[in-house]
A and B are shown apart, each in its own frame.
Chain A
């Protein structure tokens, strides 16, 4: 293809640069875009990202009618096994050998940061939906990355702030002993203290763990009103399950799940998870649009409802395709500029914006898990407690340490 473009540029005249030749060539023929969905397809987060994210990306291509808009989209996917070395390896290979233009999803913060790094080095685009770390738009922010769905700051802001407001002013943390857990604990502690609450203590649990009863008893002995679960995936599921078993929730202490997905609640069952307070930016049953989309999604995914991460993959892919169609280019700088300059609009997150530091802004929702008696059917799990506007939910632009903002 490069060869053909070069010949065109020769024919177009000596004045034509390679760049304008490329855009000319693309005006006449469809632009080929390759999207890589990189996530966990076999481990802890396979259900909340995995094949579902690939389906979501494919739905975005369908809904945008990419072919009719002059874009040929090819979607590839791979399993990073939640290991930064595996993820970095795949990302590099995709960029170097397979001409992948954009990598999306990438759960697990350590892998997300690695892909963020490589994307910048290779000058492509990374639309991160799955990672939690707010460093992606903080110290490690990059002109090539957009952090789409959620982050640790927003999770702690939503759940932490709301719990204190509701009277839960003393906290005890069960923190998964790795950087993500520590970040979540640190951010939530700040929110709790700012809101006038106190942190009575915490315990660092080996990651991944299966038995949390010992740590839960320590939490119980602290007499804190709220037990904050600064962990994810299987750790969260097990700690919630065991808290119910040891009568901790029945004893009046509240559990605050700092990172809980709808598939986790599904795995726990309402009997166990009821009363849990959590924050998400998407729920399938929010409005008619989300319901219609989720039903289509569920039909391709054995009835599983989409998680916010999968919704984020859809939303980010859609916005990216719009940018490519509008700029008639896949030059990363141009596409990123368009995406940041133009607001987002899709059936799942509604209208939103993308900030200079790469943070996508949309509302967050505080949910409480329903009692079994309140649930009207399968996947009817959440009760909306509050809507937090995007500007409040996410870290203010000037509070992060992103070097792009100072510029």
Chain B
């Protein structure tokens, strides 16, 4: 996995402090942007924004594992989609409040991640990817076979947006948007914290040279499992939030092409960068949204972007910008 283009040069303590300051500024700018976005015409449509934020969080969760753990999962749709079913189901049929159903969804992602992760981390590289794919296919099969729970190909439609904490009504799209934005910010700040913790440092050491990490006495598998579960939980958080935000959980969310899409988002934005997956998700979702009128051409355009990214743009959008600035973003 050493040849994956990840822009992460080792930084001296002063440089690290410098980068941290830059990141803090960027996070504040991002938060400010999230506050004003709904007031901008065309892209300020709350529904569209919520979708972008949910997928951005999903891509960040995926990136935590691939970019910082060096683990390519080809089955991340399982955690995203299953959590979205759990959240939609509990909101619709048990009448749970949004925070409760989102928490339950996230927990289901975590449990699934623990189960699948403990199987998958025994293998490496392409075999790891294939096991995650196989396990995700089983989740898809389960979803297809239990229409009582998932609604089959209809999905769970018209998920109610119950009052937050039982008091704050979410009937207004803009109010819901700010809830989603808050969850999103909390999610990526948590990811940022994980990456820069001692735990994150060990992860990067494992990614760059697993044998050395073993020889230094780290229990590599426990670290891998931990990052797997964290990533699956955050993917679950994204899926669960999406179900409440767009009021729909469907088979699309658990299908293998969704696992492929999240790889695409991360690749386009920049693997192993803090802000890359957010940009990547925004680009891909906007493309699907604004090019919908082109019909079959959408898949062609998407394919061309894939090819161009792989051939000339491997660091992704944010990776390239980071290179110009000579700072990791």
Contact = CB atoms under 8 A, between A and B. Distances in A.
Q: When A and B assemble into the complex, do they touch directly, with CB atoms less than 8 Å apart?
A: yes
Contacts of B295: 41-42, 79
B293 A77 contact: yes
Interface stretch (A61-69, A92-100, A300-308, A349-357): A92-100
Interface stretch (A107-115, A268-276, A280-288): A107-115
B45 A88 contact: no
Interface stretch (B8-16, B58-66, B246-254): B246-254
Contacts of B248: 84-85, 88, 114
Contact of A114 (B48, B157, B296): B157
B45 A96 contact: yes
A178 B48 contact: no
A78 B45 contact: no
Given A42-B299, A178-B144, A110 B246 contact: no
B47 A86 contact: no
Nearest to A116: B157
Interface in A154-180: 177-180
A179 B152 contact: yes
Contact of A86 (B153, B157, B252, B299): B252
Contacts of B169: none
B35 interface: no
A84 B248 CA distance: 8
A178 B51 contact: no
A110 B292 contact: no
B5 interface: no
B51 A89 contact: yes
A179 B154 contact: yes
A325 interface: no
Nearest to A121: B158
A76 B157 CA distance: 25
A96 B299 CA distance: 26
Contact of A93 (B47, B155, B158): B47
A117 interface: yes
Nearest to B255: A83
Contacts of B292: 78-79, 86, 90
B74 to A, nearest CB: 20
Given A77-B293, A85-B250, A177 B144 contact: yes
B298 interface: yes
Contact of A110 (B48, B51, B155, B294): B155
Nearest to A39: B295
A78 B154 contact: no
Given A93-B48, A178-B152, A179-B153, A88 B147 contact: no
Contact of B158 (A76, A77, A85, A117): A117
A113 B144 CA distance: 18
B250 A89 contact: no
B246 A89 contact: yes
Contacts of A113: 154, 157
Nearest to B247: A88
B289 interface: yes
B154 A84 contact: yes
Contacts of B253: 85
A76 B47 contact: no
Interface in B239-295: 246-248, 250, 252-253, 288-289, 292-295
A93 B157 contact: no
Contacts of A41: 295-296
A241 B42 CA distance: 49
Interface in A178-231: 178-180
A116 to B, nearest CB: 9
Interface in A109-134: 109-110, 113-114, 117
A117 B288 CA distance: 22
Contacts of A83: 250, 252
Contacts of A114: 154-155, 157, 248
B246 A85 contact: yes
B273 to A, nearest CB: 28
Nearest to A90: B292
Contacts of A85: 155, 246, 248, 250, 252-253
Interface string A301-318: 000000000000000000
Contacts of B47: 89, 92-93, 96
Contacts of B48: 93
A110 B153 contact: yes
B171 to A, nearest CB: 11
A85 B295 CA distance: 16
B252 to A, nearest CB: 5
A97 B45 CA distance: 8
Nearest to B285: A89
Given A77-B293, A84-B155, A93 B45 contact: yes
Interface in A33-54: 41-42, 46
A89 B158 contact: no
Interface of A: 41-42, 46, 76-79, 83-86, 88-90, 92-93, 96-97, 109-110, 113-114, 117, 177-180
Given A46-B296, A96-B45, 8 more contacts: A42-B299, A92-B47, A97-B45, A109-B154, A113-B154, A178-B144, A178-B152, A179-B151
18 contacts: A79-B292, A83-B250, A85-B246, A85-B250, A86-B252, A89-B47, A92-B47, A96-B47, A97-B42, A109-B154, A110-B152, A110-B153, A113-B154, A114-B155, A117-B157, A178-B144, A178-B153, A179-B153
